[in-house]
Structure 1
Amino acid sequence: MLSVKQETLSMVTRDGIRLDADIYCPDSSESFPVLLMRQPYGRKIASTVVYAHPIWYASQGYIVVIQDVRGRGTSEGEFELFTDEIEDGLDTINWVSQLPKSTGKVGMYGFSYQGMTQLYAASGNHKALKTICPAMIAYDLYSDWAYENGAFCLQGNLGWAIQLAAETARLQGDTIAFQKLYQASRNLPLYDPIPANPNLLREVAQNSFYHDWLNHPYPDDYWGNLSPKNLLQMTDLPMLHIGGWFDTYLRGTLNLYKAMVSRSQFPQHLMIGPWGHLPWSQKVGSINYSKEAISYVDKYQIQWFDYFLKNKKTTLINSPSVSLFEMGTNQWRYFDSFPNNLHNSYYLFSQGLASIREDDGQLIESPPIESSRDIIVHDPWRPVPSLGGHASIPSGSFDRSDIDCRSDVLTYTSEPLREYLSIIGEIFLELYCTADTPSFDLCAVLSQVYPDGRVYNFTQGYIRVDSDEVPIKIPLQATCIRIEAGNCLRLSLSGAFFPAYPINTGTEKLPNEERLIDATIITLTVNCGGNKSSQIIL
């Protein structure tokens, strides 16, 4: 490992804004490629919540540049979410490629916002940018980040908006606003008259992106102009895609990966661990996935950059391009492409008491001839609480047996498995469900049930329904898990998952105008069997 020197340097964008960066350079007379990360949280953090420190990357023979984006840290300008990241990204690549000791070749890495800055910079097709490693990002900003199947991602969006607003208040020296936001961040959700539109953000963060996201509840030009999906059509680079089974942005990671695989002439590798958004460690939620789950992203990225920025030979490129962590066996599995196997269905059936008796609702392997229906009543005064999964904070797998005992949750459970069940890839629920209001929400959670009664979720999906079209198709988060013989598979259905998503008031109003006082009781009816065979498709 090389010794490393650190310094802080600045550049000026095409419109005269100074951007500051920490530069970590090997103490050597040689020239090195550049690894660039652009981020909004203060460059000293450098995404060390999930990655090794930049000094480690630099010691592997790279000039590492960690830059404060416009209006954050000590960089000048006004921070507007994602708005300036294309031009600023291109100007930065141009600058770092010409640093002393730079070979002129640039790679980028980072997750979340730092992943998005890679995509925006890459869309400019700068010749010095040779490869990127986007982790946990949105391909379509509307459907991969802000909303899930039409439902506003309340807890994630609100928590992030408060964090960014607090950082803005800190930079402005506004102690009162900062303390209010800091306190709110420790007491989410905020129980305002309009839960999704809290008074605090209107009071101290009028210019927050949050209001734009809330006020654009459908995919329109606002989202289209910001989404990497529309900006990357003419971009082709080798990419290392990184995700987590419990990350709220996994669908964005997979959508970008699939899009690039379909049209790229360069290698596209995919790695998905049993991780939430952070940290990338062996324990997520209540489950310890063993030391095998500890992130090896840093070493993988160095091999990746060595190949594309230094032309070093590596077995990485000729090895399977898809690495998926299989929960249950707690082992990594390797594929040449993301699995798209034949599907297997479990059908829902009961005697009408699936909300009352856990032994009534069944998952069976053949469509039931006899028709049945189950009814649950969603009471907004006591909504079904969110627990784990990809949309809650904290994320991950938890024992939800107490929640499944509620009478406003339908449970359908298989017989104990005669042999192990391996589930890999996409999962869908086709549900024949109606309600007595024109708008309602549905949450579907898949869990495994142990012989001692513990119930641990491993994937879920959520949808806001505002049409009478049936069956309702609910995509669940992709997964990779092996359920051992003797355990059972369970599907749990409810009309809420709060505060991960706002409570549907049943009024057809949008989240930015849904008052809690107007929320109505919603009766949902799920039909099974006959010509209305609801099914979970694995």
Structure 2
Amino acid sequence: MLDIVRTPPAPESALSFPARVRVRDGVRLAADVYLPGAPGDVETSPGDTILIRLPYDKSGYYCFIPLIAEYFMGHGYRVVAQDVRGKFRSEGDALLFVNEVDDGYDTIEWIIRQPWSNGRVAMWGDSYYGYTQWAAAASGHPALKAISPRVTGTQLGEPVHRNSPGRTRRVEWGVTYLYPLTQFFANDALHWEPDWSRRDFATQAEEFMNQVGARGLSYDQWYPNPVHLQRFPGGDPFAGRSVPVLHTIGWWDNCAPLSWADVDEIGRHPNWDAHHYLRIESIDHESYRLLDAERDRVWERSEQQIRDLLPRTLDPAIAFFDVFVRGNGAPGDIPRVSWNLAGTEGMQEASTWPPADVQTVTRHATVDGGLVADSTATEATMQWTHDPADLVPSSAPDAFSFLLSHPDEAPIGDRSDVLRFDSPPVPSHVDLAGPVTARLRVCSDGPVMDCFVRLLDVAPDGTALRIARGQQQLLQATEPETLEIDLGHVGYRLQAGHRLRVHISSSDYPEFLPQTGTGADPWTWGETRCNTQSLAVGGRDGLSLTLPVLEGELP
């Protein structure tokens, strides 16, 4: 029997009063309404409202929405926190992503008809409740004046499309098919972990559904024969009316690639780009910071720790809403880019990202494990074995809270199935700010090859912190192919005496589903086979890394 923990809705906050929002198809969505003044005092004068739509229990401990609402109320905002359709106290089917545009529109329409609303609405939230902001914005409701999505993306949770054309595609996250079997299976959250040593995940999914006596609507629409339900009108979240956005990305957020993809897409829509404000922090998905004190690196934060977290989390949004919702100040008062140089305190400001003074440099791998400026190194082929029975382990126990464990990845580089390349130590600090890319030519004796590239900061004591990463899957992998792998963006100070290191591998488990070696579906598993992987170093096609240097010089 699987160990399944069911989490029902928590008691509603005494600071709020409950409401039911009837949307266009008759479904009623549960909301908590927080108004400044005495709890439940609906006679309060009309004012601006912040809407938070989430699937993780509007009243629960995990997202601490009552404390967030209290903080926003302290700045004069009304707050509506709502369970999305099919979750906790809301009616309807627990169906991922596809109802959020219409439900967001209808909820905003309900808000502006209330006596405590002045007709102006903003939205705030992380992850899925960042996604619901993009969805509501795509609905085009004119009362939505600004949004503040954090650590999220418009394609959040989208499975890899296995019938997509071309020889390359994304590597599937391990959590993709697990999410609709836990957080989005029923009204309550159902917490359980697969036996990661078995790897027959599809079988374990069936065991779970048999044990609870129900099927998962979202899971069945994704696997094994995906139904591609349209999330946004016309398929483009940025096709319609634009909304001012304070867009927060975390350097160590595992969902950051989705955020950066939206940044690129917004850049192709001038009406959105005109009032897109970027904020980049040294946080992971769960808002742990690189420079957090050890006492704050705890899985269950105390109420006081949560309250201490609120100013740095919410004050930027309040300043943004004060301008774009209340009209207090001018857009020029908000920096277009506010970013933290990881390893330092405070935020820096820029008019563009990357900052204008960034210089691009390239470093090349050598067969003896170097990472050098000279591109004339001897051409060679380096090989390693991908063994489905002995996978390269993920460095953090929970990818969403990477900085909670702050893992040292140096031991991973000692494995025989990981190639390692080191730069010389830097004589003085070097600031990196912008996109990082890797170019490499690879092949395999197996049909499918996953290629993971990790960029690390190695301290003089030998410990290594990952600062950027990327991965790509190569199909028909017996034929060599040159890959351009996006490692995301970095804002990082490499201290004097530190060096850069690159890890190349074929697995990162269980954060990513591993290859069987036979081309079989990793979620189903089955027969396995070891593969020999090959990487070119030196010469025109050898592994190279392109880096953005803002200050200092790499050797």
The yes-or-no answer on 1:242 pairing with 2:248 is yes
The yes-or-no answer on 1:152 pairing with 2:163 is no
1:298 corresponds to which residue?
314
SS in structure 2 at match of 1:310: coil
Amino acid at match of 1:473: E
1:416 corresponds to which residue?
425
* TM-score normalised per structure 1: 0.85
Within-5 A mapping of 1:94-243: 94-141=109-156, 149-154=169-174, 156-165=175-184, 168=187, 178=190, 182=191, 184-185=192-193, 189=196, 191-194=198-201, 198-203=205-210, 204=212, 206-215=215-224, 222=228, 225=231, 230-243=236-249
The structure-2 alpha-carbon separation of the partners of 1:277 and 1:532, relative to structure 1 and needing over 3 Å to count, comes to same
Maintained 8 Å contact 2:180/2:219: yes
1:484 corresponds to which residue?
495
2:20 corresponds to which residue?
10
Deviation at 1:192, TM superposition (A): 4.1
Amino acid at match of 1:255: A
In structure 2, how many angstroms separate the alpha carbons of the residues matched to 1:489 and 1:149?
27
The yes-or-no answer on 1:493 pairing with 2:500 is no
The structure-2 alpha-carbon separation of the partners of 1:116 and 1:415, relative to structure 1 and needing over 3 Å to count, comes to same
Unaligned 5+ segments in structure 2 are 1-13, 38-42, 163-167, 298-304, 548-555
2:466 corresponds to which residue?
457
SS in structure 2 at match of 1:326: coil
The yes-or-no answer on 1:347 pairing with 2:364 is yes
Q: Identity of counterpart residues, as a percentage?
A: 25
Deviation at 1:417, TM superposition (A): 1.3
Deviation per CA, 1:117-160: give whole Å up to 9, x if none: 11111111111111111112223347799999421101x32553
Deviation per CA, 1:96-119: give whole Å up to 9, x if none: 011112111111111111111111
The structure-2 alpha-carbon separation of the partners of 1:109 and 1:393, relative to structure 1 and needing over 3 Å to count, comes to closer
Unaligned 5+ segments in structure 1 are 171-177, 351-359
SS in structure 2 at match of 1:442: strand
Within-5 A mapping of 1:17-56: 17-27=27-37, 29-45=44-60, 48=63, 52-56=67-71
In structure 1, how many angstroms separate the alpha carbons of the residues matched to 2:447 and 2:147?
45
Q: 1:428 aligns with which of 427, 433, 437?
A: 437
The structure-2 alpha-carbon separation of the partners of 1:447 and 1:143, relative to structure 1 and needing over 3 Å to count, comes to farther
Deviation at 1:278, TM superposition (A): 0.4
SS in structure 2 at match of 1:493: strand
Deviation at 1:409, TM superposition (A): 0.9
Deviation per CA, 1:394-433: give whole Å up to 9, x if none: 4244211221111111100011113322221211111122
In structure 1, how many angstroms separate the alpha carbons of the residues matched to 2:498 and 2:296?
18
The structure-2 alpha-carbon separation of the partners of 1:488 and 1:436, relative to structure 1 and needing over 3 Å to count, comes to same
1:271 corresponds to which residue?
279
- How many residues were matched structurally? 505
The yes-or-no answer on 1:381 pairing with 2:397 is no
Deviates more, 1:280-289 or 1:46-55: 280-289
In structure 1, how many angstroms separate the alpha carbons of the residues matched to 2:160 and 2:152?
8
Deviation at 1:197, TM superposition (A): 6.5
In structure 1, how many angstroms separate the alpha carbons of the residues matched to 2:171 and 2:79?
39
2:378 corresponds to which residue?
370
Maintained 8 Å contact 1:141/1:226: no
2:108 corresponds to which residue?
93
In structure 2, how many angstroms separate the alpha carbons of the residues matched to 1:364 and 1:293?
41
Deviation per CA, 1:428-452: give whole Å up to 9, x if none: 1111222111211111111111122
Maintained 8 Å contact 1:50/1:279: no
The structure-2 alpha-carbon separation of the partners of 1:135 and 1:188, relative to structure 1 and needing over 3 Å to count, comes to farther
In structure 2, how many angstroms separate the alpha carbons of the residues matched to 1:294 and 1:29?
25
* TM-score normalised per structure 2: 0.83
Amino acid at match of 2:427: R
Maintained 8 Å contact 1:120/1:228: no
Q: CA RMSD, aligned part only?
A: 3.2
The structure-2 alpha-carbon separation of the partners of 1:139 and 1:512, relative to structure 1 and needing over 3 Å to count, comes to same
Q: 1:508 aligns with which of 509, 512, 519?
A: 519
